Amino acid sequence: MQKRKIPMRKCIVSREMKPKKEMVRIVKNKDGDVSVDPTGKKNGRGAYISLDTSLVKQAKDKKLFNQTLDAQVDDSFYDELIEYIDYKKARMEIENEQ
């Protein structure tokens, strides 16, 4: 059986290449709205960040999503992103236990 190729993406904060499943995609659509893309398939300009809340805080301090996506990102978005990352980590832990 052939091994499947694992898609890799680069984190905009740490600049590390990691498997796509270990990252969160943030997308800016045509209207300029920035949102979390849980499926990784929404239309628009995307950027990836690792599943690490400290990296989200660094991105907030440096306004990396504003620069990368060329959009105004609200501070409340970062809180939403931290909640999503905590949820995603909990899901991954449950899946690994089974």
Distance CA 85, CA 36 (A): 10
Whether 2 maps to a domain, the answer reads no
Count, in order, helices (H) and strands (E) of the chain.
Answer: 3, 5
Count structural domains, the chain: 1
Angle, CA 45 vertex, CA 66 and CA 17 arms, to 5°: 85
Whether 84 maps to a domain, the answer reads yes
Containing domain of residue 61, as a range?
8-97
Q: What is the pLDDT of residues 31-50, one digit of tens each?
A: 989 999 999 899 999 999 99
Find where tokens 């969160």 sit.
Answer: 24
Whether 86 maps to a domain, the answer reads yes
Q: What is the pLDDT of residues 52-95, one digit of tens each?
A: 999 999 999 999 999 999 999 988 999 999 999 999 999 888 88
For residue 59 the two structure tokens come to 């991105």
What's the start-to-end Cα distance of the chain, in Å? 24
Look up the CATH number of the domain holding residue 83.
3.30.1230.10
pTM for this model (two decimals): 0.88
Whether 3 maps to a domain, the answer reads no
Whether 1 maps to a domain, the answer reads no
Whether 64 maps to a domain, the answer reads yes
